[in-house]
Structure 1
């Protein structure tokens, strides 16, 4: 019986190591000396994004899984989830710091090194699973309050600026339709007046960047994960709106901007 348990544990450790090795370079980084990653996920909680829709739910669940797999690699990595709505900058829903730590194996024997790596891999896998569950809970959370009437994406910039102050590598993900919609002077309401073409989008973005450069966001990598199906119309998935954000982020010094 004892021998069977030992063998089972050994097989479990081998399986987890194999699984992590197949997942790409993200976990290999966890035993290197790379600095921490600070992940910001902005979940759109306004009326224009329906996460109960099958296509959106599947796309966003997979995106969350991929984000965690790529960016959660070692002790000190951070992940914050914010809701996008009328009060985005004050809408932090989740704040997580990775606790799993790889023991110092610089002077360890090959056997001890393998044991430490196995234990770390198992701990990190458990922590990733817990983080994914917590983020998915926030994905399906409903916002029935009055804050769902406006979409303040500009308010994500001071959040980025604060993350930039930590010195970590900042990666930002918007799970949103990116339709800025805020009433008042000096603001954009793409629900009422979207840019008519790419030229106007670029013009507006460059003008808006002048007042938004006060936020020192550094050079984060930004990914916009849109909720639109491939057959969505131009009216629904307006390419000029995406062009606005591409230009604005570029003007603010962002490293890379990707659309999915």
Structure 2
């Protein structure tokens, strides 16, 4: 009996050790990445600085967030009909084998193969995303910038139960005509106080969207020496406050 118990404990210890030593290449919880590309007249992605910044940002986003089978990435265009402007939707297919009972040599070989296949899949995804970056929008939809319309898209992503990460490659200049909308092209907030006031007022209308706690990053198309008139800090202050009021997680400006 003692020998049987000893053997049982050895098996249990090995199983626990194997679980703890599983490769950390993949995690259990999938990531849902939302990328909103500004396709309005106020953002020129053909400009050298903007193109290089956005190409690098997109490469980094894919590298960080596509890690395992089930990770999703969607690209939406920001313009007058943002909520209906999905341009790309992909799901990672590369899967790490279950190597619980594998030898160290077999496990290392499996990890190497997984990394290679995942790198290839990332390269394909990166190419498809970059194609959307250079896509032109010469239609009338480039006249308005409806960033509010991204909120129901985030809400739907939150419903999947995945870890949601949101990236706006935009100047964040909301510009929609209408008495109950903001048009920062015509009337931007004059300072942080007014930006906070407007954001809190608007949050009352937008709290019908359940966003969860996604990480949000605003990647602005402005050079470091851009003037305050071009890169109005009160505009991003508005979004910082609005997103905070809506209960999102981390908010980053780049």
Give the structure-2-normalised TM-score.
0.90
Give the structure-1-normalised TM-score.
0.88
The answer to whether structure 1 residue 149 and structure 2 residue 116 are counterparts is no
Pick aligned residue for 1:210 from 204, 207, 210: 204
Gaps of 5+ in 1: 1-27
Could you list the per-position Cα deviations for residues 6-47 of structure 1 after superposition, in whole angstroms to 9, with x for gaps in the alignment? xxxxxxxxxxxxxxxxxxxxxx7533x430000000000000
CA gap of 1:29–1:248, structure 2 versus 1, over 3 A, is farther
C-alpha distance in 2 between matches for 1:126 and 1:172 = 24
Pick aligned residue for 2:176 from 174, 179, 182: 182
C-alpha distance in 1 between matches for 2:112 and 2:61 = 23
8 Å contact from structure 1 (residues 209, 252) kept in 2: yes
C-alpha distance in 1 between matches for 2:200 and 2:143 = 26
Q: Which residue is equivalent to 2:152?
A: 158
- Number of paired residues? 232
SS in 1 for 2:124: helix
Alignment of 1:102-121 (within 5 A): 102-121=96-115
The answer to whether structure 1 residue 101 and structure 2 residue 95 are counterparts is yes
Alpha-carbon offset, residue 88 of structure 1: 0.1
Q: Which residue is equivalent to 2:53?
A: 59
Larger gyration radius, structure 1 or structure 2: 2
Could you list the per-position Cα deviations for residues 146-203 of structure 1 after superposition, in whole angstroms to 9, with x for gaps in the alignment? 1000000000000000000000000000000000000012100000000011000000
Pick aligned residue for 2:25 from 14, 21, 30: 30
C-alpha distance in 2 between matches for 1:92 and 1:29 = 32
C-alpha distance in 2 between matches for 1:246 and 1:120 = 38
Q: Which residue is equivalent to 1:221?
A: 215
The alignment's C-alpha RMSD in Å is 0.8
